[in-house]
Structures are given as C-alpha cells and as structure tokens.
Amino acid sequence: MGSRVASSGLLAGLDPEQRAAASAPRGPVCVLAGAGTGKTRTITHRIAYLVQSGQVAPGQVLAVTFTARAAGEMRSRLRALGVEGAQARTFHAAALRQLHYFWPRVVGGRPWQLMDRTLRMVGRAANRVGVDTEVETLRDLATEIEWAKASLIGADDYPAAAARLHRDTSEPPERVAEVYRTYEKLKSDDQALDFGDLLLQTTAALEEHSAVGEEFRDRYRCFVVDEYQDVTPAQQRLLDAWVGERDDLTVVGDVNQTIYSFGGASPRPMLDFTRRFPEATVVRLERDYRSTPQVVSLANKVIAAARSRPAGSRLRLIGQRADGPEPRFAEFDDEHQEAAAVARRIRELLDAGVEASEIAVLFRVNAQSEAYEQALSEVKVPYLVRGGERFFSRKEIREAMVVLRTAAADPPDGELPTVVRALLAKVGLTDQPPAGGAAKERWDALLSLVELAEEFAADASDPSLPRYVGELEQRASAQHPPTVQGVTLASLHSAKGLEWDAVFLVGLAEGTLPIQHADGDDEAIEEERRLFYVGVTRAREHLWLSWALARKPGGRRGRRRSRFLYGLLPENHPASRVARSAQNKPRGAQPKCRVCGGRLNESMEIKLGRCAKCPSHVDEALLGRLKEWRVQRSRELNVPAFVIFTDATLIAIAEQRPADDRALVSISGIGATKLERFGSDVLALVHETAGQE
C-alpha cells in the first residue's frame, strides 16, 4: 500500500506519455523522442517505479548510457528519486567491471592490463609493418582499428569493409589491416586489452561460458539503455548477451542525435526495435521541457534542414517553457576577439545571477578550448575543461580521498557536511577562499566535495560517511566529478545528454563545423549537422552562436560562417555589426538617405539607402536578372532565397549598380562573407546589364 502511494506520487512528475512509458509492465519499452523531451527523466522514473512497486530489486537493474558524465547524471537522478544500488554506467565501465569479476573463471592465470596508451601500441605495430609512424598517421590507424572493433570487423575483413563503406584512410586498406593484425598480436603477447576488447571479451565470456552467462542473468534482470541511437555493433552484441532470451529491456533515443556513426554507431537497432519486439510499448514525446520556445524554434529549424533522415524520425519539438531571450548570433574578425567577447558575455551573465556551473562553451574539437581557457582566465572566471574528467587525479583531491577513506573506518559523530568540512581542513580547506589563482582553484575543488556531501545528505536515505566515501569512489571510477563552480568547456560530442542555462556554441565556421574532412561527403555533413543540433538543444535559456573570419588577429579573413547557419539568422541580421558593437568600436555615422540626405531609421530604408518615400531609380532589367540568379543559387545551395539576399538588398543593388567590391560592401546587408560568396556573381551581372536601362 505504502509503496503504491509512493509510486503514484513518483509518476506525478511526468506527463501522460512519459508516464505510460515509465509505468509500463516489465518488458520491452521504446521511447523515440527529440532532445529535452524527458527521455532520461522517463527512464530514471521507470527504474524508480519498478523498484518502488516491488517489481524489481535495485541491484537487478543495469542502466547504460553514452558518456561517463551522463551515467553520473543518471545515478544522481536515481538517488534523488530514492533508488540506491541500481547500476548506471557506460557500456565500457559496465563491461570492465564484469570482466574483472569473470576473468579468473573464464581465462585465469595472469590478470590482464587495460591499455591506456593505445597510440603507442599502434606505433609499435606500424613500425613492425613498415608503415609511416608520424603521429597523424598513427591517429588515423588507431581510429580505423577502433572503428573496426566497434563494428565487429576483424583484420581479415577490414579491406573489404573499408572499401564498401568508403573509409577514408591515409594508408591503403591492406596496409591498415596488416597494422591491425600486428597490433592485436602485440597486445595479446603483452596480455593487454584495449577499450574495444572490454566489450568483445565480456561478450565472449557470457556467450561461451554457460555458467558465467547464467550467473549474470540471475543477477541482472532489468536493462535500460539511454542514447540508444548511438549503439555500436559491439555494444549491441554485448547487450544481446546480457538480455539473452528475455525481454525486460527499455531503450530511449533520438535518431536526430546520432553523432557517432563514423565511430561505427548506428540508429538501426533502435529503429528496428519494434520489429524485434512486436509487443513493445512504444512512446513518442514531443514536448520540450528543457528549452525556451526561442531555443526550440531554432532547434526545429536546424533539424528540418537535414537532407536525409530515416523513416519515422521526423519530429517537431514543442517548447513548454516561458519565453526567453532570442538566440544571439555574432561574427568576429578573429578567434581571439571571439573568445574575448564570449568571456565578456559570460561575465555579464554571472553578474546577472546565472551560476558558473550553469554555463557551457561548446566546440567541435578540443584544440579550440585553449583560447577560451585563456579568455576566461583573463576576466577571472573559473572554468573546468571537458567536464573535469581529471578532477579525481588532482593532488588535493587524492589527498582528500585518503583522509576521508581513513576517517570512514571509524566515522566521527556529526552531520555529514560538517564532518567532511572538518576533515578537509586537514588538506587545506580554509573557511575563507584564498584570493585567486591556483590556490583558489584547489580550494574550489575541495569545497565541491563539501557541496557534494550537502547534496548527498539531502538526497540519500543513509547519509553516513562510509556511504559518502563509497559514492566518491564510484564517481572516481566512473570519472564523474562533482559540479565544480566553474564554466564548462567541452566538446559537442561530450555534451550529449547534458543541459545548461546558458550555452555558447563557438567556432561555427566552415572547416570547423562542419569539420574539414566531412566536406564532400554528404553523410558526414549530415552527422555534423546533427552535432550542431545536439549543441543547440543543450541550452535551457541563453544561446549564443558565433564564428570568426580569421584564426589569428590580423590574419586573412578568409573563413566563411558555417553552412548550418543559413536560414537561422534573423532576416537582415547584420552579423558583422553585432560583432563590431560587441568589440565596443564606434558604429559609424547615422545612415542618411542618398536622395534627400535625411536620417534613415527603418532597417528597410537603411538597406535601400534612401527614404521609402524618395524616388527610386531601380534598374528593372538588372533586378530581374538578380532575382533569376538568386533563385538558381538558392536551389543549388538548398537554402531559402532570402538567405542569399533579401529583396531589399537586391533592390539596393539594382538602384546603386555597384561597380566594385567597395561599392558592393557599402550596401547594407552585404558583409565580408556575402562578398566572398556572391560578390563576383553580382558584379558580373551588373557589368553584363550595363546600359540596358
């Protein structure tokens, strides 16, 4: 009775569709839904519901997801719902644990080592085979080996598979296969396993040793997979080994967030779920609880522009939150200015009361991080890089763990947070924070352990020191740091499943997003577009999108903003003007009418360069040709016509008949980017229609 009341209370926090999925009887469940619609919330509630209603014991639940941080997030949410003891891990972390447990029985002898320096082993193999050992080549080879293993493709089958799937490799496929084969041999001689092996070996143990399989299936009975759209064949095979002939499997995902196909992942198993389990409960969610309607509308546009999509994945998110600020777009001369402007805007948000831990700067490649680390340091904003995976390797945290672990053997009396604070005083946690720099960073790190103790004391049913230390150990093994009061700097890939109040998507230039090597490959471009969609949908409220035309100050401004931005910027958005005002440069004189000399205020008038009432002397022939040209370009680029030039800009061109680049950029609405893309076309048209007035 008590549990039934508790479980219905639990479900009160869900909408009807979410509730249907969460409270479905044990058995196959599939939730297909867009970002921010509550998929993760639904599955954590489902686990809590099954546990509270006595249908499954927490220890029998195994939940897996994509990143360590997302797994940590899932554990925190479960704990907040009163579930203790359910496993929530990444596929790799779950396999690692199982393999440790089963290894003595299935292999025995000397224990294996998990290799943490794959590249070195690839280097040894390449050397032996006589392939170039430049770091770039080795990275390429390592990527191929990783992909092949995730795709369950052995060295012998690699060349055929690589050809069929158009893998772009720096070495001929036969040579890659040779390196792959040698790498496997060297590794097994060393009794070492790589990350891919964790999945393969665990699967083999379960499939080939019936006693192991039985023991496992007896122990785990309820399986949940988050981010199922990005499952690799190796992970799916492991999942199949876990589930066996049973069907107690809940999967949730969003096809539009598939961002790992080039690592071997595929949304196919998710889309085929109901074919495999025809009796499955299937739920689709559309309400977006995470983001403001402004962010949601942008996300819908991004994903509507996708060129290819699997059947059943068309989705339109409906924003549930109150209105928020419009997303901001900004163009900069170089990356330095871009990072400085982002740092200044972050300062403003902090001053306006947004928490640092509720702000993230997301980029395509980790090399972009440095500029932001520097810019944030300059304005004295604390940050943590890539979610702070290295948190538990910090010296002060390792020392703190020793002190806490020792104390847990004979816990002192008192409230958990007070006890933790007193213990951490021994390793340097003072009452008042030090002024700044490295000392302040250490202090912040230690304080985050106290804050975690406060959170833990509020949520956990038994907030004792030993249990708290247990939680820390778990987090350390899963690389899930506590939320440090700092701005997150992370790659788009690692941001999946997470959310922040304010998100800065930076470096949105061609060559970075989409990344250079995706160019010319439609599928790769679509994956980059989905990555962009993942980025946009991380924001609850404030969304900033920016790019820079040059890399270094004073460099050639030869970059173009990302193609994914076409059609997103508000019409007539003066991208370059936003950038200039962000840099606090004077905006130039008030525009005047070129016919009567009066002041111009309306944006349409500014664009035309004259008052709406003043006489127009438009070159009709030129205007006609410009319009034809625009239709043709918009078809080629697959963007709406106004994205190329608005009507007002075309009229202004047809009136002013610019003769050169300078005259062309003086027309409002034509900046460096448009000049580069369309300048020569337009000037040619002006030239060709000369004298036809």
Residues that bind ligand ATP (CB under 6 A): 14-15, 18, 33, 35-41, 254, 257, 289-290, 497, 499, 537
| Residue 38 contacts which entry, Mg ion, ligand ATP, none (Cβ below 5-8 A, type-dependent) | ligand ATP
In this structure, the number of other CB atoms found within 10 A of the CB of residue 631 comes to 12
| Minimum CB–partner distance for residue 252 and Mg ion (Å) | 7
| Residue 387 contacts which entry, ligand ATP, Mg ion, none (Cβ below 5-8 A, type-dependent) | none
| Minimum CB–partner distance for residue 527 and ligand ATP (Å) | 16
Nearer to ligand ATP among residue 396 and residue 501 (C-beta) = 501
| Minimum CB–partner distance for residue 87 and ligand ATP (Å) | 19
- Report the candidate in 289, 204, 291, 362 with the shortest Cα–Cα distance to residue 196: 204
| Minimum CB–partner distance for residue 130 and ligand ATP (Å) | 46
Instruction: Please state the separation of Cα 621 from the chain's center in Å.
Output: 49
| Residue 36 contacts which entry, ligand ATP, Mg ion, none (Cβ below 5-8 A, type-dependent) | ligand ATP
| Minimum CB–partner distance for residue 506 and ligand ATP (Å) | 20
| Minimum CB–partner distance for residue 227 and ligand ATP (Å) | 7
Binding footprint of Mg ion on the chain (CB under 5 A):
39-40, 497
Nearer to Mg ion among residue 125 and residue 498 (C-beta) = 498
Nearer to ligand ATP among residue 31 and residue 206 (C-beta) = 31
Return the structure tokens found at 302. Answer: 């991004």
Question: Running DSSP on this structure, what letter comes out for residue 231?
Answer: B
- Report the candidate in 285, 281, 292, 267 with the shortest Cα–Cα distance to residue 38: 285
Nearer to ligand ATP among residue 38 and residue 196 (C-beta) = 38
| Residue 90 contacts which entry, Mg ion, ligand ATP, none (Cβ below 5-8 A, type-dependent) | none
Report how far residue 357's alpha carbon sits from residue 346's, in angstroms, rounded to the nearest whole number: 11
Nearer to ligand ATP among residue 37 and residue 483 (C-beta) = 37
| Minimum CB–partner distance for residue 19 and ligand ATP (Å) | 9
| Minimum CB–partner distance for residue 497 and ligand ATP (Å) | 4
Q: Is 121 exposed, middle or buried (0-12, 13-18, 19+ CB in 10 A)?
A: buried
Q: Which residue is nearest to ligand ATP (CB)?
A: 38
Give per-residue burial for 324-362: e unless 16+ CB within 10 Å, then b.
Answer: beebebbbbbbbbbbbbbbbbbbeebbeeebebbbbbbb
Report how far residue 315's alpha carbon sits from residue 230's, in angstroms, rounded to the nearest whole number: 18
Nearer to Mg ion among residue 40 and residue 337 (C-beta) = 40
Alpha helices in 391-482 (DSSP H): 395-408, 416-425, 437-459, 465-477
Question: Running DSSP on this structure, what letter comes out for residue 590?
Answer: P
Nearer to ligand ATP among residue 221 and residue 290 (C-beta) = 290
| Residue 286 contacts which entry, ligand ATP, Mg ion, none (Cβ below 5-8 A, type-dependent) | none
Return the structure tokens found at 453. Answer: 């103790």
Nearer to Mg ion among residue 28 and residue 497 (C-beta) = 497
| Residue 262 contacts which entry, ligand ATP, Mg ion, none (Cβ below 5-8 A, type-dependent) | none
Question: Running DSSP on this structure, what letter comes out for residue 292?
Answer: -
| Residue 501 contacts which entry, ligand ATP, Mg ion, none (Cβ below 5-8 A, type-dependent) | none
- Long-range contacts, stretch 676-685, CB < 8 angstroms, 24+ apart: 676/558, 676/560, 677/560, 678/633, 678/644, 678/645, 681/629, 681/633, 682/626, 682/629, 682/653, 682/658, 683/658, 683/659, 685/622, 685/625, 685/626, 685/629
Q: In terms of residues, how long is the chain?
A: 693
